[in-house]
Chains A and B, each alone.
Chain A
């Protein structure tokens, strides 16, 4: 049950949008498709909805092969980044659209629409037109419209992409809660890793038309399969062939074996978190994430020479020797999710 995509391929002219993509979305789960623009995540979502036809591969929705089913018969709810509101209809008309197509009787439609408007907190705005709503209200209307027909799956294409930061944060908390109430299998597309980790139970990281890795947020963060996932999910510094998270950087004031000499270039206070940027002897720029207390203890100034010790580093290339502590490395595309070696620098 749930949604399964097998070996999906899609080409637009010279551009390979999907290159043998397979994903598995458990019934009732909330899954994020995460990736940079052009990674194929929206194409995959649209293929699941039937808005795009695949060159090869299969889409299975709740155990039924839907590959050849037209969009209108797939019973999916789809929410667009730019709302796709029917501008000539009221909020009521928009939400009622799918029910009118299904020829429900008037009283039933009215009851269902008001129930949904209550759910998305738009009751009282039923007679407004989309142009008279804010972006966040419009997107909630679009969500109510998609949910009205009780879809088997709910698909959201960068649903908060056009909204400002504050509204976006509110809406994603709200979507999370809505999903807990409704339990409809949901996939949403985003390029924002924080948003994906905040909302979704399962993340699928995509890049250049392929799935790089899928798993829980913790899985991806702690056991990235490759360099791409490591740098896309969370922040990362690159030291030669090794990668280290900025919060795994230890800053020392005394010369120390195995520590790199570095100069403090800039100190940026972001509230509780302090971002300290360094330049190494060979010109590499790295940064460390410190707390306010750590910074005060170190009394760092710009231009100061310090000694950096990377904590946990990772390496994804087979032919590069491990760092000081000694750790094995893995090929670029391992089959398993988490066999990238974690090596503690001695």
Chain B
């Protein structure tokens, strides 16, 4: 460790000051406000039927959207990195759309498609399927806004591991499926896991698109962020703060699960080079002549 210079102290102060002012202070305030009068009021606010339903609905969104986007994301990343063709640039651009489009616009576009005057709306309602103002529409919105994360996190890891391990597996007799499960997926698992965490966080907190397609009906189509917003508008501060805390705790749990998983994997065999020439072989992506 080098001795800290005034410049380093300056930078540190700036970094912590920035974070403190913009992140820690507001979040801290919410915690303070929620538990200002003890544990009773927030627990009471969060055990009302509407609040419990909002929590359940939010978890349902996560349970459906995250696995869907994980499978789709890993598949897409494989397509983009391992099967080069001209259409990839287009595919890549489309995957980025949810990053570029405001969630409100996503909500509106779903409205146009599935509304009573939309393309699919009338046909689907003839079959008795209600998309808007019910769970299917909310799931569609959640899937849409959280779609790119797993792809974006997996693509660079796939590129970095290269194809030699997969080729080695195939010369050893593994078919494509066995190679994917035994070699590729374990090698990219950290990219995928990080993508899953980001997807989960996005689905948990999604407001804009869901608010439009759900209609925000208490106890029916209200997710936790919608519940918090409504409570806030109705000056029910207790419920608003408590809901916010539950949201934050859910996100934290996801992060914790990932880092616990990470520590376990590290304990199994960390990348600790113990001999001098182990360092030579870290460049594995180079291909032969």
User: A residues near B, CB below 8 A?
Assistant: 37-39, 41-42, 49-51, 70-78, 80-88, 90, 97-98, 101-102, 128-129, 131-136, 138, 142, 145-146, 149, 157-158, 161-164, 167, 189, 191
Q: What is the interface of chain A mostly: helix, strand, loop, or mixed?
A: loop
Contact of A136 among B164, B273, B277, B284 (CB under 8 A): B277
In the complex, A38→B175 CA distance in Å? Answer: 30
Cβ of B94 within 8 Å of any chain A Cβ, yes or no, is no
List 5 A-B pairs, Cβ < 8 Å: A42-B288, A74-B171, A80-B164, A84-B164, A133-B278
B47 within 8 A of A: no
Q: Once the chains are docked, how many angstroms separate the CA of A51 from the CA of B172?
A: 12
Contact B277 A81 (CB under 8 A): no
State the Cβ distance, B1 to closest chain A Cβ, in Å: 25
Determine whether the beta carbon of B171 is less than 8 Å from that of A82: no
Q: A84-B168, A102-B173, A131-B270 are in contact. List 11 more A-B contacts (CB 8 A).
A: A51-B170, A72-B170, A72-B174, A78-B168, A80-B168, A84-B284, A131-B278, A132-B278, A133-B278, A135-B280, A136-B277
Chain B contributes a number of interface residues (CB within 8 A of A) equal to 33
A129 to B270, CA, bound (A): 8
Closest to A77 in B: B171
Interface residue from A77, A132, A134, A136 paired with B272 (Cβ < 8 Å): A132
- In the complex, are the beta carbons of B187 and A157 less than 8 A apart? no
Residues of B within 8 A of A157 (CB): 288
Report the separation of the CA atoms of residues A86 and B257 in the bound assembly, to the nearest whole angstrom: 25
User: Which of A84, A101, A128, A162 has the most B CB atoms < 10 Å from its CB?
Assistant: A84
Contact of A41 with B289 in the complex, beta carbons under 8 Å: yes
Q: Are A135 and B281 in contact (CB under 8 A)?
A: yes
Q: How far is the CB of B266 from chain A (nearest CB, A)?
A: 11
Interface centre among A77, A131, A163, A189 (most CB of B within 10 A): A131
Chain B positions within 8 Å of A, measured between CB atoms, are 164-165, 167-175, 178, 182-183, 186-187, 269-278, 280-281, 283-284, 286, 288-289
Query: Which residue, of B271, B274, B275, B277, has the highest number of chain A Cβ atoms within 10 A?
Result: B277
Given contacts A84-B165, A129-B271, A158-B288, contact A163 B171 (CB under 8 A): no
B62 nearest CB across to chain A (Å):
27
Q: How far is the CB of B270 from chain A (nearest CB, A)?
A: 8
Complex: A37 Cα to B288 Cα, angstroms: 9
The answer for the CA separation of A133 and B288 in the assembled complex, in Å, is 22
Beta-carbon contact of B288 and A189 below 8 Å: yes
Residue pair B280, A37 in contact (C-beta under 8 Å): no
Q: Which residues of A contact B183 (CB under 8 A)?
A: 86
Shortest B285–chain A CB gap in Å is 8
Q: Which residue of A lies closest to B178 (CB)?
A: A101
In the assembled complex, which residues on chain B have CB atoms less than 8 Å from the CB atom of A131?
269-273, 278
In the assembled complex, the Cα of A87 lies from the Cα of B284 at a distance in Å of 11
| Contact in complex: A70, B170 (CB < 8 Å) | yes
Q: A84-B167, A97-B169, A101-B173 are in contact. Are A132 and B288 (CB under 8 A)?
A: no
Q: Is the CB of A37 within 8 A of B289?
A: yes
Determine the distance from Cα of A275 to Cα of B165 in the docked complex, in whole angstroms.
44
Asked if A42 meets B284 with Cβ closer than 8 Å, knowing A80-B164, A101-B174, A163-B277, the reply is no
Q: How far is the CA of A82 from the CA of B281 in the complex (A)?
A: 7
For B277, list chain A residues within 8 Å (CB): 134-136, 163-164, 167
Known: A72-B173, A167-B277. A83 touches B272 (CB 8 A): no
Q: Which residues of B contact A138 (CB under 8 A)?
A: 281
By a CB distance below 8 angstroms, the chain A residues around B278 are: 131-135
Alpha-carbon separation in the docked complex, A24 to B154 (Å) = 43
Q: A38 with B281: in contact, given A84-B165, A88-B187, A129-B269 (CB under 8 Å)?
A: no
Contact call B288/A149, Cβ cutoff below 8 A: no
Chain B positions within 8 Å of A149 at CB level: 172-173
List chain B residues, Cβ under 8 A from A163: 277, 280
* Cβ–Cβ < 8 Å partners of A98 in chain B: 172-174
From known contacts A51-B167, A134-B276, infer whether A82 and B286 are also in contact, taking CB-CB under 8 Å.
yes
B275 contact set on A, CB distance < 8 A: 133-134
